């Protein structure tokens, strides 16, 4: 009768022990994918109707994403045995003949010399003297002095099996601590229509205090149509807020509360952001997890979103987690400076969110603090940003700039009675720079103009008939119905 071979402990195909064969494995149900590509996040229940998802959220509406059970399942890694022995416990040494016994010979008698005690004492004394000399040498060379090197000159310490602290973690911690006190939670009550008639709906969004006297920047869609706004600070204080004004160019709004001495966030320069740079999003995702911090990188710049006739350009794309309720909250760089305002997410993707650059928001922020009406600059031209394809197709003499014209040859590129017409601009002119700053694909005309205020005089470098000329232009006020 043959015996069954012993199972190989390294063979993963052997049968599972019946004692643990019925242990279940974690297998969550697949989540349904949304049908739309984009959706504003002002209301999860309204998300399918629009192509954007902003990060505002409406309480009382169905959640935008499935909510996990409050009782987390017990996870067990696949392929891990329930036994506590290692894979090598069952490995036996190959059999070998036993060694032959050795008969010790007679111990010779010592005829003289030092005894064993003397030898041991001498050895110990030598070891002590040698180690003492080594310590003195190391001490003189500074080996026992704590190092104080910093920055690029400090060499990394070798770490075996222990977590390594990196500067990125410290940057996130410091930036979050710096900006979080200036982040607010906005609870907005607005008129809403339900199947039973017109009633009140409540939504939650975020905002950031940019001036200590109660000036808050947020998204227009967060407060649009609001009948009541409650502003909650991180320290627990609440204030009634009112809409000071909304922007005609982007999805931005200014909210004012009656308070002074508030923590205000420092503003950065979004134009200086680099793709791959660390950024941090702060807000109230899902309207529940207030003042949450997520981190990621700048994935791209100059993105564009459209909904019907509405269009937002020059957006920052980031993979920092942005969810309904984050709308209006700040996007922060590693130095703790606000570089954008979170506004939308791609609902059919993972890790694609968008923020409005702070350079676009800065002019209206300053107007509000001065008590002025929010307004955007206007020159009155239609144009195309010059790309390699456009240069090749039209045989243009330059690689970058803004070509005035409709593109299809129909209509005029310069609007009648506009500041551009008054300044003498013509179809076919190529705008090369504004106040000495070159125009290119990363610095398009609209993004550069919006950083100026109405009635401001700017200098344009214009290429016309092969010659570059300078044109002085006084900016007008952007019409409110202009998309």
List 211, 247, 251, 333, catalytic entry: 251
Beta bridge partners of 198: 193
389-407 per-residue burial string, b: 16 or more CB within 10 A, e: under 16: eebeeeebeeebbbbbbee
C-alpha–C-alpha distance, residues 329 and 180, integer Å: 10
Task: Indicate which residue of 206, 221, 247, 319 is catalytic.
Answer: 221
Q: Which candidate, 187, 197, 184, places its Cα nearest to that of 227? A: 187
Answer yes or no: 327 catalytic. yes
CB 189 within 8 A of CB 202: yes
Out of 327, 337, 429, 461, the active site residue is 327
299 tagged catalytic: no
Q: How far is CA 145 from the centre of its chain?
A: 41
Distance, in Å, from the CA atom of 479 to the CA atom of 257, rounded to the nearest integer, reads 28
Residue-by-residue DSSP string for 10-38? T-TTSPPPTTTTT-----PPPPPPPS-SB
The answer to whether 275 touches 301, Cβ cutoff 8 Å, is: yes
DSSP letter for each residue of 343-405 = EEEBTTSSS-EEEEEHHHHHHHHHHHHTTPPP--EE--B-EEE--HHHHHHHT-S-SSSEEES
Q: Is 349 a catalytic residue?
A: no
417: left (phi over 0), alpha (psi -120 to 50) or beta: left
Alpha helices in 142-197 (DSSP H): 167-179
Question: What positions carry a catalytic annotation?
Answer: 221, 251, 327
């Amino acid at each position: 009768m043959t015996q069954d071979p012993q199972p190989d402990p390294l063979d993963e195909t052997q049968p599972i022990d019946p004692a643990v064969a019925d242990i279940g494995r974690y297998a969550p149900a697949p989540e349904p994918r949304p049908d739309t590509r984009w959706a504003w996040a002002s209301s999860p229940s309204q998300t399918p109707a629009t192509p954007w998802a902003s990060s505002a959220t409406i309480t009382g509406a169905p959640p935008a994403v499935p909510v996990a059970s409050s009782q987390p399942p017990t996870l067990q890694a696949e392929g891990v045995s329930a036994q506590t022995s290692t894979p090598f416990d069952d490995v036996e040494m190959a059999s070998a003949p036993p060694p032959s016994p050795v008969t010790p010979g007679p111990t010779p008698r010592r005829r003289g010399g030092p005894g064993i005690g003397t030898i041991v004492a001498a050895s110990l004394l030598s070891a002590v003297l040698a180690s003492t000399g080594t310590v003195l040498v190391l001490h003189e060379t500074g080996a026992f002095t704590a190092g104080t090197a910093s920055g690029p000159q400090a060499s990394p310490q070798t770490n075996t099996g222990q977590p390594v602290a990196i500067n990125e973690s410290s940057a996130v911690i410091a930036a979050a601590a710096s900006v979080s006190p200036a982040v607010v939670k906005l609870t907005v009550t607005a008129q809403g229509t339900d199947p039973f008639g017109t009633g009140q709906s409540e939504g939650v969004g975020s905002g950031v205090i940019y001036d200590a006297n109660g000036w808050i920047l947020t998204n227009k869609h967060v407060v649009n149509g609001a009948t009541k706004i409650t502003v909650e600070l991180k320290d627990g204080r609440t204030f009634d807020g009112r809409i000071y004004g909304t922007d005609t160019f982007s999805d931005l709004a200014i909210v004012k509360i009656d308070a002074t001495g508030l923590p205000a966030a420092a503003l950065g320069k979004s134009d200086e952001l680099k793709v791959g740079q660390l950024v941090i999003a702060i807000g109230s995702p899902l309207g529940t997890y207030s003042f949450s911090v997520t981190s990621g990188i700048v994935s791209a710049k100059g993105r564009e979103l459209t909904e019907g006739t509405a269009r937002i350009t020059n957006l920052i794309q980031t993979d920092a987690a942005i969810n309904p309720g984050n709308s209006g909250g700040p996007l922060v760089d590693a130095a703790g400076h606000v570089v954008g305002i979170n506004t939308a997410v791609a609902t059919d993707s993972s890790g694609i969110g968008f923020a409005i650059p702070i350079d676009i928001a800065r002019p209206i922020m300053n107007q509000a603090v001065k008590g002025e009406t929010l307004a955007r600059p206007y020159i009155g031209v239609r144009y195309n940003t010059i790309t390699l394809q456009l240069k090749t197709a039209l045989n243009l003499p330059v690689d970058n700039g803004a070509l005035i014209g409709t593109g299809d040859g129909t209509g005029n590129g310069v609007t009648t009675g506009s500041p551009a017409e008054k300044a003498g601009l013509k179809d076919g002119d190529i705008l090369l720079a504004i106040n000495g700053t070159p125009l290119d694909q990363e610095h398009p005309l609209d993004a550069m103009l919006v950083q100026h205020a109405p009635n401001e005089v700017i200098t344009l470098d214009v290429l016309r008939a092969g010659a570059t000329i300078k044109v002085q232009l006084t900016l007008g006020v952007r019409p409110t119905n202009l998309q």
